[in-house]
Amino acid sequence: MLGNLDNEVIFKKAFTDKIVFKAFVRDILGIEIEVDRIETEKQFEPKVGYVDFKLDIFAESVDKRVVVEIQRVEYDHNFDRFLHYFMMVIAEQQKRSKEYAIPQTVYVIVVLTAPYRFNEKNGKAVQDEVLLLKLNPKTLAGEERELYGHQLVCLNPNHPDNDTPQQIRDWLDLVYQSIHSPERPSINAGNPGVMRAAELISFENLSPEERALAKNEAGRMTVRAIHRNERDLEIAKSMKAEGDSSERIARITGLSHEEIESL
For the entire predicted model, the pTM comes to: 0.80
Pairing of strands 151-155, 105-112: parallel
- For the segment 111-120, the average pLDDT, to the nearest whole number, is 77
- For the segment 82-94, the average pLDDT, to the nearest whole number, is 84
**What's residue 102's pLDDT?**
74
> What average pLDDT does the chain have?
84
pLDDT tens digits, one per residue of 7-64: 888 999 999 999 999 999 999 999 999 999 999 988 877 666 666 678 889 999 998 8
Residue whose C-alpha is closest to residue 114's, from 4, 235, 249: 4
**What's residue 13's pLDDT?**
93
- Give residue 76's pLDDT band: very low, low, confident or very high (50, 70, 90): low
Residues contacting residue 166 through CB under 8 Å, at least 6 positions apart: 188
Dihedral of the alpha carbons of 206, 208, 214, 216, in degrees to the nearest 10: 180
- Give residue 74's pLDDT band: very low, low, confident or very high (50, 70, 90): confident
Which sign, positive or negative, has the C-alpha torsion 46, 47, 53, 57?
A: negative
User: Measured between alpha carbons, how far apart are the two ends of the chain, in Å?
Assistant: 40
